[in-house]
Copies of this chain bind each other. A is one copy, B any other.
Amino acid sequence: MDLYESRNSGGSIIVVPRMGESQLFWTQGYLVLKGYFANYAKEALMLANELAESRGKNVVLEPSKEEVRSVFAVHESETVLGELAWSGAVDTIRCLLNDQVYIHQSRVNFKRSGGTGWGWHSDFETWHVEDGMPDMCCASLMIALTENTRENGALRVIPGSHNYYISCPGETPDENWESSLVDQVAGVPDRAAISGLVDLCGGDPVALELDAGDAVIFHCNLMHGSQENKTGTPRTNLFYAYNAEGNMLQGPFSGKKPRPQYAATRVFINEGI
């Protein structure tokens, strides 16, 4: 029997069909690519840990200042961390955004045992206000370098939330990135807005439980966050954010100074260069 029963002898029957990739992405705001990077996760994890040890200026520490929270601009690495930035998944992203793309930002988020999570936020909100990204023609690729579970702080998303923008309260402080990359305060929606958003989207948040090597393409305005890592082992994810070439950064809409190059690329980098 095929999925769509070939006419029937009773009344009409409404069936919810299997969705294709584009339809899933635009309906949910994200798309899971199971096992897509399974052959690369182990090497990428080792290299990410090495970069974290370097403690360069692209490295952001945890509030405790003892452990590394994130390493930025990993797409500039001449290793598999640079190569993975231009995998076949980027063809899917180009198609979804209907444009050529360049890397707006890349990073590895380390969440060591006990590491804190992120509150609910839209990446686009920050990228618009603090980086001057005009429109929502941007998507991130997240590659799980370790298992992601509810217990270790898997990404949680509100499906369909990319269809709504939340204008957040708060003046953007000068050089906000110095603290916001550790613990975001400005650009965080209040609880009432999140509750309203969940109602509008008609469904509860979903935890994206993944195996190492799975990946997720998610819309820049998808509301997401994560909880702390309650397990004894790290949860490590690699991110590349691709912006459409027709959506190049302007001056930040906050009117403040642009963030540093490692957080928001203004020197154009794409595959062709």
A interface residues with partner B (beta carbon < 8 Å): 2-23, 25-27, 92, 95-98, 125, 128-129, 134-137, 163-172, 186-187, 189-190, 192-193, 196-197, 200, 221, 253-255
How many Å lie between the Cα of A5 and that of B7 in the bound state?
A: 50
CB atoms of B166 and A12 under 8 A apart: yes
Q: Which residue of B lies closest to A162 (CB)?
A: B23
Q: Give the residues in chain B near A10, CB-CB below 8 Å.
A: 169
How many copies of this protein are present in the complex? 2
CB atoms of A187 and B7 under 8 A apart: yes
CB atoms of B6 and A254 under 8 A apart: yes
CB atoms of B15 and A166 under 8 A apart: yes
Q: Which residue of B lies closest to A244 (CB)?
A: B20
Cβ contacts A to B, 12 pairs, < 8 Å: A6-B129, A7-B167, A7-B170, A10-B169, A14-B165, A15-B166, A16-B163, A16-B164, A17-B221, A18-B135, A22-B96, A27-B27
Given contacts A7-B171, A13-B166, A14-B166, 16 further A-B contacts (CB under 8 A): A2-B253, A4-B125, A4-B128, A4-B165, A7-B167, A7-B169, A7-B172, A7-B186, A7-B254, A14-B165, A14-B167, A15-B165, A17-B164, A20-B136, A20-B137, A21-B98
Interface secondary structure of A, over-half rule: loop
How many Å lie between the Cα of A166 and that of B10 in the bound state?
A: 12
Shortest distance from the beta carbon of A252 to any chain B beta carbon, whole Å: 8
Q: Answer whether A15 and B98 are a contact pair too, CB < 8 Å, given A6-B255, A7-B186, A20-B135.
A: no
Q: Answer whether A14 and B193 are a contact pair too, CB < 8 Å, given A6-B255, A7-B168.
A: yes
Contact among B27, B134, B172 for A26, CB-based, below 8 A: B27
Q: Which residue of B lies closest to A15 (CB)?
A: B165
Q: Give the residues in chain B near A125, CB-CB below 8 Å.
A: 4
Shortest distance from the beta carbon of A90 to any chain B beta carbon, whole Å: 13
How many Å lie between the Cα of A172 and that of B5 in the bound state?
A: 12
Q: Give the residues in chain B near A20, CB-CB below 8 Å.
A: 97-98, 135-137
Q: Answer whether A190 and B98 are a contact pair too, CB < 8 Å, given A27-B163, A165-B4, A167-B7.
A: no
Q: Which residue of B lies closest to A91 (CB)?
A: B98
Q: Give the residues in chain B near A18, CB-CB below 8 Å.
A: 135
How many Å lie between the Cα of A125 and that of B192 in the bound state?
A: 43
CB atoms of B255 and A192 under 8 A apart: no
CB atoms of A12 and B187 under 8 A apart: no
CB atoms of A169 and B14 under 8 A apart: no
